[in-house]
Structure 1
Amino acid sequence: METILRVESLTKHYGKEPNSTKALNGISFQVVKGEFLGIMGSSGSGKTTLLNCLATIIKPTDGSIQMQEKDLGQLKGSQLADYRGKEIGYLFQNFELLENLTAKENILLPLSLHKVNANESKNRLELLSQYLDISELLDKFPSQLSGGQRQRVAAARALILDPKIVFADEPTGALDSKNATILMQKLAEMNQVEETTILMVTHDSVAASFCNRILFIQDGKLFHEIRRDYPRESQEDFYHRILKVMAALAGGDGNVF
């Protein structure tokens, strides 16, 4: 299978020695095309720092990140802008929609910034609107939408340029359980039907149960990894395996079996 993302010995330190804080301490993993990967860990484990490094919001102290064969540490200027704008989508916890634009205008904003063909824009918008069940919301402003509707609009914006990978930062964090489940079902459908590659940081075990594989981080290091045995393993069974690892994380137990 094609490797989309490759992370090697990634470290991120804050402050100066000998009092520096190691937010990430030598993390390595790969993401293959069409994967739905979850990143979990307790508060302060380093999962958000990892996501910010992958999205080039912050620079790692050491190690490498490659998007296919492209070394992100070597990107500058227009190359970096293209990576952020075209090759990745980013789904925020708090939606980050522009209040003075309609849902449709918010979704299409990345297309206008990168001068995508009008017919391609229309076709992609129609497809995403159907998948995410937002066709009736396109002419409404964010203030007229519920939290769940806002996040589905934000998901369409993250997916509109058909990015190589979508980074989702606690996408269900501001939603109630019903809307969180709806969002995750929609993202899982996009992953399965469109082979959309998604990397999601979450503390929510229910949301994580929609993933194919989960990496657990503790103190900036990779603690454990589990993969759903699909189709033999049900989503509920996978959820209970996730809870077991999270309990081990909370108790500082290195043995999750």
Structure 2
Amino acid sequence: MVINKQNPVDIQERVHSIADKLGIRDILSKFPYEASRLLLETMADINKKMQATILMVTHDPFSASFCERILFLKDGKIFNEIFRGEKAEKVLLNLVLPCIAAIQAPLVR
């Protein structure tokens, strides 16, 4: 799926199109948090049950906490990596947040 980030209408149309296909448009409009959780859980299920590789690029720690493997990039290079293993979502989230803070910290020269 290609989305033009410069055009918010394009993004909204794509999200609604996907929501229609999944039958979750009502949830998406009334409960955005629950809708995003449902979408992320569905992607995680597809990954596990169908052994499908899903590449998600995000700046959102909540979304990242659903992933099996998280790569942190800084200046185009891998800065850190976390494997989920048996970690619960909240535990993984607590590992993700310090990595994001370290990436965003200003360089000391």
Q: TM-score w.r.t. structure 1 length?
A: 0.33
Q: Which has the larger radius of gyration?
A: 1
- Tell me the CA shift for residue 251 of structure 1: 1.3
Structure 1 residues 216, 197: closer, same or farther in 2, change over 3 A?
same
Residue from 64, 73, 87 that aligns with 1:217: 73
Residue number in structure 1 paired with 2:8: none
Residue number in structure 2 paired with 1:236: 90
Structure 1 residues 190, 147: closer, same or farther in 2, change over 3 A?
same
Q: 3-state SS of the aligned residue for 1:222?
A: strand
Give deviations 1:33-63, integer Å, cap 9, x for gaps. Answer: xxxxxxxxxxxxxxxxxxxxxxxxxxxxxxx
One-letter code aligned to 2:101:
A
One-letter code aligned to 2:83:
R
Residue from 195, 199, 205 that aligns with 2:51: 195
After TM superposition, the structure 1 = structure 2 runs for residues 110-121 of structure 1, keeping only pairs within 5 Å, are none
Residue from 9, 23, 28 that aligns with 1:148: 28
Structure 1 residues 219, 204: closer, same or farther in 2, change over 3 A?
same
More strand by share: 1
Between 1 and 2, higher relative CO (CA 8 Å, sep ≥ 6) is seen in 1
Q: Conserved in 1, the CA contact under 8 Å of 2:70 and 2:82?
A: yes
One-letter code aligned to 1:148:
L
Partners of 1:222 and 1:216 in 2: how far apart? Answer: 6
Q: TM-score w.r.t. structure 2 length?
A: 0.71
Q: Conserved in 1, the CA contact under 8 Å of 2:27 and 2:34?
A: no
Q: 3-state SS of the aligned residue for 2:56?
A: strand
Percent identical residues: 32
Residue from 93, 98, 104 that aligns with 1:250: 104
Structure 1 residues 186, 95: closer, same or farther in 2, change over 3 A?
farther
Residue number in structure 2 paired with 1:186: 42
Q: Conserved in 2, the CA contact under 8 Å of 1:215 and 1:224?
A: yes
Q: 3-state SS of the aligned residue for 1:198?
A: coil
Structure 1 residues 146, 219: closer, same or farther in 2, change over 3 A?
farther
How many residue pairs get aligned? The number is 97
Partners of 2:82 and 2:33 in 1: how far apart? Answer: 24
- Tell me the CA shift for residue 96 of structure 1: 4.7
Structure 1 residues 96, 147: closer, same or farther in 2, change over 3 A?
farther
- Tell me the CA shift for residue 213 of structure 1: 0.6
- Tell me the CA shift for residue 206 of structure 1: 0.7
More helix by share: 2
Structure 1 residues 207, 250: closer, same or farther in 2, change over 3 A?
same
- Structure 2: which 5+ residue stretches go unaligned? 6-10
Partners of 2:101 and 2:52 in 1: how far apart? Answer: 30
